[in-house]
Amino acid sequence: MSADEDVILHGNEVFDVELRGFDHIPEPERNMTLRQIDHLWVGTSVNLFSFALGAIAITLGLNLWEAFAACVVGGLTYAYMAWGSIATVRAGLPVSTLARAAFGIRGNLPNALLSWIASVAFEVINTVFGVEALLALFGLLGWNHAGNAGKLVAVLVQLLLCGGIAVLGHATMVWFQRIFAALVGGALLAVIVFTADKVDWAHASSSHAHLASAGVAAAFLTASAVLASNPLSFLFNGPDWVRYLPSTTPARPIFAHVFWASYLPSLAMTMMGAFCATLGDMTDPISGLKPFMPAWLFVVYIVAVVGGSLANNVPTYYSSGLALQAIGLRLRRYAATMLDVIVSTSITLYLLFVQDFSTALNDFIALLVVWVGPFGGVWICDAYLRRGRYDPGAIHSKAGAAGRYWGWRGLNPCGCIAILAGMAAAAMTMKSPLFDGPLATALGGADLSWILGFPTSALVYGTLVLVRERRAAAGRQPLWSDYA
């Protein structure tokens, strides 16, 4: 903490508006605990998006045991996000801010913009899940054929709950996540126990669909890629949520709490999606499950779906506000969050009432892995090379070329080259509804983008920085003299 940095001792209290935003969190203000990480990530992870991804593994032609294995393997990419969380704790900065050091002040703008766009896409998808669940609940409560009025009420309910919590800020978000974690987690556990009894486990080794790839191995890698897309998608915002931990918190507990509290609930939800997909069509995971449980449990399931949608959207709204600040909007955090809530709600209303573009939205999410893995590889590698130490004043400096993190014409060439290399590796090896990379096609439809994107960009970045440092140590001109 710099000597001239202001300290706001009560700037992050439950049910008060959080006063910090994308700026540095000084040590006296760090009021988060490791136990709160568990609540936060369990609440965030129990949602229908994970269920839907698990169901896809069955539709790709895997049998249930193979689908379970893909769930286990794909979810291991939560480790990247857990490593990144150590860096944000050390730095006391959100991802959209500290990534400026790796890409340059101007070079990070496209990443901050993509972070916000991706957040809005996930917000809309989760809100639509919540709308479908609330409409089903309205029907059970006697409001049959709710129609457009029901959709509007469902959207407004989520707007008030999610938006209100996210606008208040970090402490309030963490407080509510413990409630979501307990109630939603418990409800979905009951649903899992009941529906698992309906599965024909004796024939679990039989596939339920034709293989979507040239062989089982290719289908397995593609399913793993689909399942890995969810944990990878947290690389641009998930580490933001733990930056209120004291900077001296040991690395191992940070990693362990973040990883297990995100991996295990997500694994349970993806496996649930996989075994439920063997029962019938789970394209609509709400009505699809209705025939396989009693009416009382279906009500519990609907309430859990709504709670999961809320629990997943609140932290996404929160980080979206930080991304808007990092882009350059001169708004306080709560105002930036309010703006994001309004934008995503407007898009949701357009999708529900004017034109359904949910397919295009899902296709965008499928392509996101091309960017998000390499982006994470660069900023996490940079954070570890710096050992989580950043100058909080310089990283927000408007000094232009005189600033420490300005780079070369506002760009850090090491970061920009590295992310392009990682994106190229991911694009050439991906299989998606819109694009199949040439190497993925040559491998019979096997998707390796989730494996190669992150390490490729990290390796290239680390190599370029090492070369630059060795040139500087040898007394020769560094490769980019403006980079500090």
Mean pLDDT of the chain: 89
Residues facing residue 436 across a β-bridge? 431
3-state SS string for the chain: CCCCCCCCCCCCCCCCCCCCCCCCCCHHHCCCCHHHHHHHHHHHHCCHHHHHHHHHHHHCCCCHHHHHHHHHHHHCCHHHHHHHHHHHHHHCCCHHHHHHHHHCCCCCHHHHHHHHHHHHHHHHHHHHHHHHHHHHHHHHCCCCCCHHHHHHHHHHHHHHHHHHHHHHCHHHHHHHHHHHHHHHHHHHHHHHHHHHCCCCHHHCCCCCCCCCCCCHHHHHHHHHHHHHHHHHHHHHCHHHHHCCCCCCCCHHHHHHHHHHHHHHHHHHHHHHHHHHHCCCCCCCCCCCCHHHCCHHHHHHHHHHHHHHHHHHHHHHHHHHHHHHHHHCCCCCHHHHHHHHHHHHHHHHHHHHHCCCCHHHHHHHHHHCHHHHHHHHHHHHHHHHHCCCCCCCCHHHCCCHHHCCCCCECCECHHHHHHHHHHHHHHHHCCECCCCECHHHHHCCCCCCHHHHHHHHHHHHHHHHHHHHHHHHHCCCCCCCCCCC
Report the pLDDT averaged over residues 442-465.
Answer: 93
pLDDT at res. 480: 47
User: Is residue 340 included in any domain, yes or no?
Assistant: yes
Report the pLDDT averaged over residues 337-359.
Answer: 87
User: Is residue 223 included in any domain, yes or no?
Assistant: yes
Confidence of residue 210 (pLDDT cuts 50, 70, 90): confident
**CATH number, domain with residue 230:** 1.10.4160.10
Report the pLDDT averaged over residues 116-125.
Answer: 92
Q: Tens digits of per-residue pLDDT, 366-410?
A: 788 899 999 999 999 999 999 888 988 888 877 666 678 888 888
User: Is residue 450 included in any domain, yes or no?
Assistant: no
Report the pLDDT averaged over residues 99-117.
Answer: 93
pLDDT at res. 149: 92
Residue 484 has pLDDT above 50, yes or no: no
Comparing 331 with 360, the larger pLDDT belongs to 331
Report the pLDDT averaged over residues 21-28.
Answer: 92
Residue 4 has pLDDT above 70, yes or no: no
Comparing 395 with 213, the larger pLDDT belongs to 395
pLDDT at res. 26: 93
Residues facing residue 431 across a β-bridge? 436
User: Is residue 338 included in any domain, yes or no?
Assistant: yes
Confidence of residue 412 (pLDDT cuts 50, 70, 90): very high
Residue 140 has pLDDT above 50, yes or no: yes
Residues 143, 323 contacting (CB under 8 angstroms): no
User: Is residue 100 included in any domain, yes or no?
Assistant: yes
pLDDT at res. 409: 85
pLDDT at res. 483: 42
User: Is residue 415 included in any domain, yes or no?
Assistant: no
User: Is residue 416 included in any domain, yes or no?
Assistant: no
pLDDT at res. 396: 84
pLDDT at res. 80: 97
User: Is residue 482 included in any domain, yes or no?
Assistant: no
pLDDT at res. 433: 80
End-to-end CA distance of the chain, in Å?
20
Report the pLDDT averaged over residues 87-107.
Answer: 94
Q: How many domains does the chain have?
A: 1
Range of the domain at 328: 27-367
Report the pLDDT averaged over residues 233-244.
Answer: 95
pLDDT at res. 318: 95
pLDDT at res. 206: 82
Pull the structure tokens for residue 135. Answer: 């409409």
Question: What is the pTM for the complete model shown?
Answer: 0.91
Q: What percent of the chain has pLDDT over 90?
A: 58
